[in-house]
Structure 1
Amino acid sequence: MRVYQLYLIEDEFANHYFGRERMFFELFLESKSSFGELKTIVDKQIQYISKSIPSLRIHQMIHQQLSKMKGFTMENGLYKVEVQGKNSKAILMIKDGYVLVQAEGSYEAEAIFFEVLRKCEQSFLAIDIEHQRYGWLKPIKERKFV
């Protein structure tokens, strides 16, 4: 099973650290493995670089874009997508401070959720700590100054 935590990164930090996403990943990894005073410090750093999750807008976008889709269900704040014939399932939950996506099988179901989220906000960073995978849902275009 793949488990992604999606955080909204402040634009200033997203632009500055474009191409160095590993630094974000290491910060979130440190938060999971630390305790005590160090955990408090790391969690404050995460709060500083993160935006709050616009849960109402995300709920609206999911309903608007997926409610008529075959294989989509919602119950108790959990959104589920199952793609028949592709052996692909994903669940999305909106948590306090991040969005959680759990997926099994092929990547189609999670890609459906990611597509909706990337239309909702510019700077979602997806992190799969267990498999050490991370990246932007909507890659930030580098500005070129002449």
Structure 2
Amino acid sequence: MRNYQIYLIEEEFAAHYFGRERMFFQLFQEFEYSVGEIKSILSKQIHYITRPIPNLRLNQFIHQQLQTKKDFRSENSAYYIEQGIRSTAKLELFDRHLILQATGSYDAETVFFEVLRKSEEAFLAIDLYNERFGWLKPIKERKFV
């Protein structure tokens, strides 16, 4: 099973740390395994660099984009894509992050990633267990000459 935590990063931090996403990953990894005062400090840092999830707008967008797909359903404030046993994904929305759980091939999770990519500019997905991370919509660097 793949478990992704998806955060909406403040635009100034997303632009500044473009190409250095490993630093975000390390921050979230340290938070996951820390305790006590250090966990509190890391929590404040994460809160500072992330934006609240626009839940109402995102819920509407997900429904608009996926309502016609036969393998899509929503239940108990979670979204599911089940393509038989070969690929399943579950997306849950929280105040400051999203959780995406997926099994099988990457097809079902890719559907959710595509919808999220279209909805916001700076979503960062992190899979702590498999040490995978990246932007859902890569940030384009602007170079002015």
Say whether the fold is shared (TM-score over 0.5). yes
Note the residue ranges of structure 2 that are not aligned, 5 or more in a row. none
Note the residue ranges of structure 1 that are not aligned, 5 or more in a row. none
Is the counterpart of residue 137 in structure 1 residue 130 in structure 2?
no
Listed one character per residue, the Cα deviations across residues 116-135 of structure 1 (whole Å, up to 9, x for unaligned) are 11111000000000000000
Write the distance in 1 (CA, Å) between the matches of 2:51 and 2:95: 11
Paired position in structure 2 for 1:19: 19
Listed one character per residue, the Cα deviations across residues 56-99 of structure 1 (whole Å, up to 9, x for unaligned) are 11100111011110111111101000124x70000000023101
Letter in 1 for 2:17: Y
Paired position in structure 2 for 1:96: 95
Write the distance in 2 (CA, Å) between the matches of 1:83 and 1:139: 27
Write the distance in 1 (CA, Å) between the matches of 2:106 and 2:52: 27
Paired position in structure 2 for 1:126: 125
Q: Which stretches of structure 1, 4 residues or longer, exceed 3 Å deviation after superposition?
A: none
| SS, match of residue 19 in structure 1 | coil
Paired position in structure 1 for 2:57: 57
Paired position in structure 1 for 2:75: 75
| SS, match of residue 125 in structure 1 | strand
**TM-superposed deviation, 1:145:** 2.3
Q: TM-score, normalised by structure 1?
A: 0.97
Listed one character per residue, the Cα deviations across residues 26-83 of structure 1 (whole Å, up to 9, x for unaligned) are 0000100101100000010000000000011110011101111011111110100012
Tell me if the contact between 2:55 and 2:95 (Cα under 8 Å) persists in the aligned partners.
no
Number of corresponding residues: 145
Is the counterpart of residue 105 in structure 1 residue 104 in structure 2?
yes
Write the distance in 2 (CA, Å) between the matches of 1:64 and 1:43: 33
Write the distance in 2 (CA, Å) between the matches of 1:90 and 1:73: 11
Percentage identity across paired residues of the two chains: 60
Write the distance in 1 (CA, Å) between the matches of 2:95 and 2:129: 21
**Cα RMSD (Å) of the superposition?**
0.9
Paired position in structure 1 for 2:4: 4
